[in-house]
Amino acid sequence: MIKSEQPKLYIISPAEFEIERFSEDLKPILDSIEISCFRLALSTQEENTIAKTADVIRDICHSRDVAIVIEDHFLFVQKHGLDGVHLSDGARHVRKARKELGKEAIVGAFCGNSKHNGITAGEAGADYISFGPLSNTSLKDGTIANPDLFAWWSKIIEVPVVAEGGLDKKVVTNLERTTDFLAFGDELWKGKNPLHALNHLLSFLS
């Protein structure tokens, strides 16, 4: 089904950041633009750092009615009052996360460009499926998610779909009627003014 409404917005954190500086970049975005979900996607495996960061960012998000999910570390969700988890390995741990977190928690799954993995994750109980990246990349094997995947998914599958990775003017324009969420991450943080970068990308939505 072609969507009549604009996609909702989803923000992904950098893999590494200094908490005070990042907080000051994030707050104006959440204060001025309606964001549905924020993902804490840290590369560190240091538990104390993850815990401290999760507590700070959770308070920023929840005070603005924005859901916060953490990437992969679903044992942090209940302990730190988060709203759910984003699993980066497709359908592999969806059932386990759902069993651990219960029905009310958000469980999302990144499935690259695999329709099969997306369907499997949805059947296992994922609340949303994300596909990407959407433009040329040197990451992993360089495979991108074709816009046709989103058009097919939106027509056939009811589980919400998220577009993430390499979102530019062309991608935003092509996908605004076939994706439920646009997820912005590095597109914002690689510059000096993340809010300006996001506003620029959103200006391409009709």
For position 138, what pLDDT does the model report? 55
Q: Residue 107: which of 72, 133, 132 has the closest Cα? A: 72
pLDDT average, residue stretch 116-140: 90
pLDDT average, residue stretch 154-159: 95
Per-residue pLDDT tens digits for 108-117:
999 999 999 9
Q: Residue 47: which of 72, 22, 76 has the closest Cα? A: 76
For position 52, what pLDDT does the model report? 97
pLDDT average, residue stretch 177-205: 96
pLDDT average, residue stretch 157-182: 96
Percentage of residues of the chain with pLDDT beyond 70: 95
* 113 SS3 class: coil
CATH code of the region 8-202: 3.20.20.70
Each domain of the chain, given as residue ranges in start order, spans 8-202
C-beta separation of 130 from 158 below 8 A: no
pLDDT at 39 over 80: yes
Residue 97 CB burial class (10 angstroms; 0-12, 13-18, ≥19): buried
For position 173, what pLDDT does the model report? 95
How far is the C-alpha of 178 from the C-alpha of 162, rounded, in Å?
A: 10
pLDDT at 1 over 80: no
How far is the C-alpha of 171 from the C-alpha of 3, rounded, in Å?
A: 16
